[in-house]
Structure formats: structure tokens, C-alpha cells
Amino acid sequence: MKTNLDNLDIQIIDLLEEDGRASAKSIALKLGITEVTASKRISKIIKGDHCKVVAIADFEKCGFKFLLPMGIKVHGKQLEQVAEKISSLDAVYSVSAVSGIQDLEILCATKTLDETVQLLDVILPSIKGIKSITPAISSKVYKFQTDWAPLGND
Amino acid sequence: MIDDIDSKIIKLLGKDARMPNNQIAKAIKVSEGTVRNRIAKLLNQKIINISLIRNVNQMNNPGIAFIGLDVEASLKEKIAKQLSRMPEVRFVSTLMGRHDLMAFVLAENAAELSHILYQKIASIEGVQFTESSIGLKYFKYDYKWGRLVDE
């Protein structure tokens, strides 16, 4: 579903990108529109399916010491079921079906080594249909840009 | 570190960062001043940031690739920084296991993706091998989490 944005919407999105909590009043002032128009447009924008304004929390500062980008290979037709099962795990933060050597690319976050071992050796292997797990631990994150996401699956 | 009040605020702001302070205060039964101070603290200490997230499902034909790279050992950090400077590259990390580096690329379309993969990244000095997986379907993406990296 694609909805159309006009020029004013795009200007408002740009301002929200700079300061996501900017008030309707300050946005109205900057764009020379009324506060009512600004707040109507803002609700339209954030309630639509183009973008969201959210707080993003830092994994590490919230106690997640391990970030694990893993590749998963799946037996034949079970891809969707396996992907849904993996998605239901709390430790898993993203799940994407891919074409290439792997079938799924997933990103997990865990707090301790024990939790990591549990995920890798017990929880994931117990999911029926997983053929192989290629794990890795992220040692240093150089860039993690959070300005995009596939929205609308939640 | 963060306490219980912080986590409740993070959870609410993770759904809608424009929720007014007085509503947050009501929802978690603390004063509005506490909410204001906590949000300021969370932002100052870079525990959270407020982001505008664009929906890639609204792009016409986005090309998303997950790339594992094996590189000349002595050039690993340099290559990580080079990749980070490319605007289409949204995630870069060094790895233990699997590959030396991992990068995620978001391109406007398949043609741009192919240009980035086979021209720009492949020509970086020290890149010995790349393994690319192209995103087909997205089952889960919990955008509430990220790493707030200083650039």
C-alpha cells in the first residue's frame, strides 16, 4: 500500500528527522503554517505507513553484551515455519529470508555467554527444519544506522 | 546502567517517541518532572536516541544485501571505516567467526545494489572475498534496538 506524500509532508519529515520530539508549534513556526495544520500533518505522517518516530535503545548500554549476526540454512519447504519460530524468540531482533548461501540472516542479542551458548546449542537446534547454523559474534560495531526498517509486520 | 523506570520509559518511547511527557507520567505513575529528567538523562548518556525510521516496504524495489567479507588482516579496521563512510552501507561490524567483517547495504533498486556490491565494495583494497545474500522477505525487525555509535 503506497500513500502519497506532498511537499509539505516531506518538509515535516525532514524536521522530524532532525528532532523527533519537536513540538507541532515549533514545526509550524519553521514552515510558516498554522499549528493545527502542523499537528494534523504530523499525526497523518506518523500514523501512516511511511515512517515512525521512535526511541532506539542501545543494546550494549541496556546490558546486551553479545550481538550475533548468524546465517541459517533450512530444509526445503520449511523456510516460513522456521522463520516464524525464530522470530518468536525474544533474543532475536531481526529475521530476513535471503537468497545466497544462507536461507535466513538473523541478528540476535544476548546478555551473557551462558545465554549465548543456550541460544546456539539448545534453543536454535531444537527448532525443526534448521539444517545448519553459522554463528558469529560482532566484535566491534562501526556503523549501525537506524533510519530504516521494514515496518508493518508487528 | 538503567533502572525499572528507565526501562518503562524506553519501552513507551520505543513505540512512539512523540508521546507527551504527561501521558508517559500517567502511564507509569511517576511525576512529569521525573519523566522529563529521565528522558534527558537517557538522551545525554546516549542510551537512547530519537529516530525517524523510514519504511523500506514503501520503497519501489529496494535492494537489501547482507555481505560477509574476508579481508587482509592488517587492513580490517581501515576497510571497516571505509565501508562505514558509504551512505548505502547501513551496518558495519567486525566479527569473530564466519567472516572478518559484516555489512548490510540498502540500495534504491537492484541496479544500484549491484553497482555497490560489484564496483564499490569489490574494489576496496584488501577485500579478498565477499559472500552476499540478497534480502527477499522480512519476518522480524525490532527497530527499538540499535547500537548508538559515535561517527
| CATH number, domain with residue A40 | 1.10.10
B79 and B122 together in one domain? yes
Residue A94 lies in a domain: yes
Residue A55 lies in a domain: no
Q: Which of B17, B140, B38, B1 is nearest to A111 (CA)?
A: B1
Residue B147 lies in a domain: no
Optimal mutation site among A25, A96, A104, interface B, most CBs of chain B within 10 A: A96
Cβ within 8 Å, pair A142-B84: yes
Q: pLDDT, tens digit, for every residue of B2-26? A: 899 999 999 999 889 999 999 999 9
Residue B13 lies in a domain: yes
Total domains, chain A: 2
Residue range B84-102: average pLDDT?
A: 94
* Residue corresponding to grid cell 519447504: A77
pTM above 0.90, yes or no: no
Q: How many other β-carbons are positioned within 10 Å of the β-carbon of residue A14? A: 11
In angstroms, rounded to a whole number, what is the distance separating the alpha carbons of residues B53 and A146? 7
Residue A128 lies in a domain: yes
Sign for the pseudo-dihedral over CA of B70, B124, B108, B143: positive
Q: Which of B28, B38, B33 is nearest to B8 (CA)?
A: B28
Please determine, for residue A48, whether its predicted confidence score (pLDDT) is greater than 80. no
Q: Which of A85, A81, A68 is nearest to A133 (CA)?
A: A68
pLDDT at B22: 94
Q: What does residue B4 show for φ and ψ, rounded to 5 degrees?
A: -60, -45
Residue B129 lies in a domain: yes
In this complex, the residue of A105, A137, A147 whose CB is nearest that of residue B66 is A105
Residue B150 lies in a domain: no
Chain A residue numbers touching B45 (CB-CB < 8 A): 61
A101 and A66 together in one domain? yes
Residue A36 lies in a domain: yes
Q: pLDDT, tens digit, for every residue of B34-72? A: 999 999 999 999 899 898 888 877 777 888 999 999 999
Cβ within 8 Å, pair B98-A71: yes
Distances (CA, A) of A21 to A25, A79, B33, B50, B55: 11, 40, 17, 8, 19
B73 and B29 together in one domain? no
Q: What does residue A111 show for φ and ψ, rounded to 5 degrees?
A: -90, -35
Higher pLDDT, A125 or B151: A125
Q: Which of B99, B81, B144, B55 is nearest to A109 (CA)?
A: B144
pLDDT at A1: 40
A142 touches chain B (CB under 8 A): yes
Task: Supply the range of the domain harboring residue A28.
Answer: 7-47
Q: What is the CATH number of the domain that holds B21?
A: 1.10.10.10
B10 and B36 together in one domain? yes
A127 and A84 together in one domain? yes
Average pLDDT over chain B reads 91
Q: What is the CATH number of the domain that holds A90?
A: 3.30.70.920
Cβ within 8 Å, pair B148-A58: yes
Cell numbers at residue B72, please?
587482509
Please name the residues between 27 and 46 in chain A that touch chain B, using a CB distance below 8 Å. 42, 46
Chain A residue numbers touching B141 (CB-CB < 8 A): 93-96, 149-151, 153
